[in-house]
Amino acid sequence: MHNNNKAYSDIPGTTVFDGDMARIGFHLNQFCMSLMQAANRAEFKQDESAYLAKWPMTEAQRQAVLARDFSQLIDLGGNIYYLVKISSCDGLSVAAAVSTMTDLSVEDYLEMMQQGGRSPEGNRYVVTTSMEEKS
Residues lying near other proteins in the complex (CB under 8 A) are found at 7-8, 11-19, 22, 25-26, 29-30, 32-33, 35-38, 41, 70-71, 74, 79-82, 84-85, 88-89, 93-95, 98-99, 101-103, 109, 112-114, 116-120, 123-125
When the beta carbons of 52 and 86 are compared against other proteins, the nearer one is 86
Please report how many Cα atoms fall inside a 13 Å half-sphere around the Cα of residue 27, on the Cβ side: 12
- Taking phi first (over 0 means left), then psi (-120 to 50 degrees means alpha), and beta for anything else, what does residue 13 get? left
Minimal distance, residue 118 CB to other proteins, in Å = 4
- Distance of closest approach, residue 92 Cβ to other proteins, in angstroms: 11
Taking the least distance from each CB to other proteins, the nearer of 58 and 79 is 79
Residue type, 54: K
Nearer to other proteins, 121 or 132 (CB): 121
**Closer by beta carbon to other proteins, 60 or else 95:** 95
**Smallest distance, Å, CB 64 to other proteins?**
14
Determine how many CB atoms are found less than 10 A away from the CB of residue 97.
19
DSSP secondary structure, 13-45, as one string? T-----HHHHHHHHHHHHHHHHTTSHHHHHHHH
What is the four-CA torsion angle of 3, 4, 6, 7, rounded to 10 degrees?
A: 80
d(CA 64, CA 89): 16
CB of 127 vs other proteins, minimal distance in Å: 13
